[in-house]
Amino acid sequence: MSNLETKPEEVDLADPSTGSGPSVSSGFEILEPRDVPLGGPRAMSVRRTLPQRARSLIGAWCFVDHYGPDIVATSGGMTVPPHPHTGLQTVSWLFAGEIEHRDSVGSHAIVRPGELNLMTAGRGIQHSEVSLPQTTVLHGAQLWIALPDATRNVEPFFENFVPTPFEFSGATIRVFLGALLGHLSTARTFSRVVGAQLDLPAGTTLELPVDPQFEHGILVDDGAPTVSGHPVAKSELAYVAPGASTITVASGDVPVRALLIGGEPLGEQIVMWWNFIGRSHEEIVEFRRTWQADVIADGDDNGTFGRVRGYDGSALPAPELPNVRLRPRD
């Protein structure tokens, strides 16, 4: 989905290993969500745990929005007009409901629960997302992965991947990105990352072997688990620093559903504003200028962001830039 804030904050994302991040001496942090409305009169809101002041990145993962279960009759569901992205991949992951995706490389896909829909924006793409009329409950997550500098200008493309669930240590696991326990996703990544859904029945302790070079996040969708011995509430994102070779998730009295994200620390500074990721203020200004020109031209097959076909409505103009220079934190 889009970052639909009308006044998006400048977010300068520094690699936490450069020392600008919070202390991770304990190797564990709880990242608490903040509510962000998606705009419109009956709009649903999302719970955002990345980025935030305390932490900007987990591996190359740079954006975590969690939403629902959302009663569409009350909230109005999801209607996100065509909007651009640069320098990132979007991961759409649903627990309930269906969303129609259209983009400017000609993809027209239905996003369904348990299926990865991965859009690589690269040098620039635009897409729309609309919950289908028969969807009564919408529930899922929207995640972004920053592309490394060397590959961030690749041509945009879109992939679908349906992981086969498997049982391990009493849990059901779906590996939708990267590799875990010998299960591989075929979706393309540009840095070493992992993404998986974990489902634990009540009374289950999952001892999950993980890559000790990775840092990890566990987003709790449902239940009241402990992660490495720490209680984690719904919509909180538990952070586990590099160095851990096992992450222990215990469900306790009720079942748990969670998402695992992780990756090798990116080791780069990025500048993130609205739906763009770049490396400098000037680059973000240029992305915005180019997008606004495309919006005024009502989409241009030869433009940077191409054209979304089949969406009934106008594209989303970019908000105003803040009156401060966007620059990476150092």
Q: Least distance to Mn ion from the beta carbon of 101, Å?
A: 9
Residue nearest to Mn ion (CB): 2
Q: Cβ closer to Mn ion: 239 or 305? A: 305
Q: Least distance to Mn ion from the beta carbon of 239, Å?
A: 24
The Cα–Cα gap between 250 and 98 comes to 30
Q: Cβ closer to Mn ion: 120 or 204? A: 120
Adjacent-strand bridge partners of 206: 249
Quick check: 78 and 275 in contact, CB under 8 A? Answer: no
User: From residue 207 to residue 246, what is the string marking binding to Mn ion with x (rule CB under 5 A)?
Assistant: ----------------------------------------
Q: Cβ closer to Mn ion: 2 or 197? A: 2
Quick check: 268 and 149 in contact, CB under 8 A? Answer: yes
Q: Least distance to Mn ion from the beta carbon of 146, Å?
A: 14
Query: Which residue stretch of 1-9, 47-55, 234-242, 288-296 sits at the interface with Mn ion (rule: CB under 5 A)?
Result: 1-9
Query: Which residue stretch of 2-10, 164-172, 177-185, 258-266 sits at the interface with Mn ion (rule: CB under 5 A)?
Result: 2-10
Which of 176, 141, 174, 147 lies closest to 64, judged by CA?
A: 141
Check residue 89 for interaction with Mn ion (CB under 5 A).
no
Q: Cβ closer to Mn ion: 2 or 304? A: 2
Task: Look at the block and give the residue holding tokens 């969303």.
Answer: 99
The Cα–Cα gap between 19 and 188 comes to 30
Q: Cβ closer to Mn ion: 78 or 256? A: 78
Q: Least distance to Mn ion from the beta carbon of 154, Å?
A: 17
Q: How many residues bind Mn ion (CB under 5 A)?
A: 1
Task: Say whether 301 sits in a helix, a strand or coil.
Answer: coil
CA angle 167, 261, 151 (to 5 degrees): 125
Q: What are phi and psi of 148, to 5 degrees?
A: -65, 155
Which of 85, 50, 67, 136 lies closest to 276, judged by CA?
A: 85
Check residue 2 for interaction with Mn ion (CB under 5 A).
yes
Task: Report which DSSP code applies to 31.
Answer: E
Q: Which residues bind Mn ion (CB under 5 A)?
A: 2
